Amino acid sequence: MTGRDVLDVLSAVLLLSGVAFSVVAGLGLLRLPDVFSRMHAATKPSTLGLALILSGAALRVEDRGDAATLLLVGVFQFVTVPVGAHMIGRSSYRAGTGALDDLVVDELRDSDGGRPAG
């Protein structure tokens, strides 16, 4: 069992678990009842899944530079996906799409915090 075989097995595990989480994300997007819960589903498992897949691919790729690129894209995703979700959530909240009519607590409305111009 050479070193490369070990890496291949590890890579296979990473790829498969990443795909599993991506499927979870797709299922969540479809099955969950309202916009905001779907946003939760769209961000967390899909980011984790993608990170796992990129790591698995980085282990298989022969050129170190390419592996670094894959990992860099993964890190980049950790920054951009939450920011994207935040912006979508914020615009949904402000537009008042009605999905948030029955909150237990809404401290944002109570405080009128930070509404900058655009």
Question: In the range 17-76, which residues lie near another protein by CB under 8 A?
Answer: 18-33, 35-50, 53-54, 56-57, 59-63, 65-66, 68-70, 72-73, 76
- Shortest CB 2 distance to another protein, Å: 14
Q: Does 87 bind another protein (CB under 8 A)?
A: yes
Q: How many residues does the chain have?
A: 118
Distance CA 62, CA 92 (A): 44
Residue 7 as a binder of another protein (CB under 8 A): the answer is no
Residue 35: which H helix or E strand, with range?
Answer: helix 35-60
CB of 110 to another protein, least distance (A): 8
Q: How far is CA 95 from the centre of its chain?
A: 24
Among 1, 2, 3, 95, the residue binding another protein under the rule CB under 8 A is: 95
45 touches 29 (CB < 8 A): no
- 10 forms part of the interface with another protein (CB under 8 A): no
| Dist. CA 68–CA 78, nearest whole Å | 16
Taking CB under 8 A as the rule, does residue 105 contact another protein? yes
